[in-house]
Structure formats: structure tokens, C-alpha cells
A and B are shown apart, each in its own frame.
Chain A
Amino acid sequence: DIVLTQSPALAVSLGQRATISCRASQSVSISRYNLMHWYQQKPGQQPKLLIYRASNLASGIPARFSGSGSGTDFTLTINPVQADDIATYYCQQSRESPPTFGGGTKLELK
């Protein structure tokens, strides 16, 4: 299985930029497709899709969220961070079955 590694937590100030990283144990890119996706999960709620295929904003997601990366290294950026963005963020790959998730990065206020 492809293992995705995320830092457990990131502290950020409101109005600042947050950069959350995800590293895959092997490439999750095929041709021009980068098969990495990002979700937001708030306590007691279901996950919500933010970014699909590394850099595409999901429907209804604010433009302060963006994604980048290819191969094994991917980044979710939130700029500027708002209070409503305090949550846990998961990356997920669909390059190989089974689809796997990172351990999650908890975004905290500094």
C-alpha cells in the first residue's frame, strides 16, 4: 500500500498562511494527472472534499484553499487562515488500490 505521511499538527495565526504537506511513499502521478486529494474534517463532522487531483478546487470551496505538487510531494495551502478553517486535514491518494489516507494534520491557532 502507498503510505502517506503528514505532520500531526500545525500552529498558525489567523490571517496568516498555512502550508500543510503530504509525502507519499511512491509516486502518485500518472502522466499529467496527480492523483492526490485533500479533505477537511471538523470535530464530530464528516470529511469534506477540498481539492481533487492535487490542484483542483472542489465545488463550493473558497479560493483561499489551494493545492500543489506532483510525484511524491504535495501541499495544501490556506491563505489567509480564518477561524472556520480550524480542523484536521487529510490527504488521500488514488494512484493505486487500496486508496489510502494520510494520518491527518490538525490545524491549531497559535
Chain B
Amino acid sequence: EVQLVESGGGLVQPGRSLKLSCAASGFTYSNYVMAWVRQAPTKGLEWVASISTGGGNTYYRDSVKGRFTISRDNAKNTLYLQIDSLRSEDTATYYCAKDPGITGADYFDYWGQGVMVTVSS
């Protein structure tokens, strides 16, 4: 059974940093592109970033470029999202999501339960 379990969220002051983690199991993690998708309270879904199987290629939405860093550790079956210079508009539930493609199909067949990030002073 595919499982994605996020952690690392919480209440953070504007301008501070946070690192989210996603522990994957139930599939050959290193074979799949992975992504982060977020959802602001009462809002819709927004793709944030994706990373290739080996981690050498990363992709970001324009609004987070330079502040967010997606990475992965294939030995630990774990996906990460480093978020720097947090802003109030980053407040959202962040979902870890598995892409069904080895090269990136850019849709998501499994999702974690999500982790909440609240940016407030």
C-alpha cells in the first residue's frame, strides 16, 4: 500500500524558515517523480514544486522560486521542502504527492494527508 506521511508543519513567524518532510513507503520511491501541492484555507489546489527521480532536476511555480527548495533522499525514501522567508500567503496545507511517471506525467496518483503551515506573527 502506498503511503505518504508529511511532517514538519506548524506556526511560524513571517520571514522565518521551515522544512517539511514526507516519508514514502509501499512503492519503489526512487523510480518516481515527486511533488508538493498546497491548498490555502478554503481555497483550491496549487502545484508548488516537483523533483526528478534522481533529484537532479527541480521545477517550481514562479511565486516560490528562490524561496522554496525541493529535495529528496532516495536512501531514506523521503521528500523535503525547505521554505525560507515565509510570507502570510504561504499559509496552507502542504501535500506531498506522487507522480505516476518516471519522467514526470505532471499529475498525481497518491497524496499524503497533508501538513499545515501557518505564517503569522
Contact = CB atoms under 8 A, between A and B. Distances in A.
Interface of A: 35, 37, 39, 41, 45-49, 52, 58-59, 90, 92, 94, 97-104
Contact of B47 (A49, A52, A101, A104): A101
A88 B46 CA distance: 15
B111 A52 contact: no
A51 B94 CA distance: 22
A33 to B, nearest CB: 10
Contacts of A99: 47, 106-107
14 contacts: A45-B113, A46-B112, A47-B45, A47-B95, A47-B108, A48-B111, A49-B109, A92-B107, A94-B106, A94-B107, A97-B59, A98-B47, A99-B107, A100-B47
B114 A46 contact: yes
Contacts of A48: 111
A46 B113 contact: yes
Contacts of A45: 113
Contacts, number: 51
Nearest to A47: B111
Contacts of A46: 95, 111-114
Contacts of A47: 37, 45, 95, 108, 111
Contact of B109 (A58, A98, A101): A58
A101 B107 contact: no
B44 interface: yes
A103 B108 CA distance: 17
B61 interface: yes
B114 A103 contact: no
Nearest to A6: B44
Nearest to A48: B111
B117 to A, nearest CB: 15
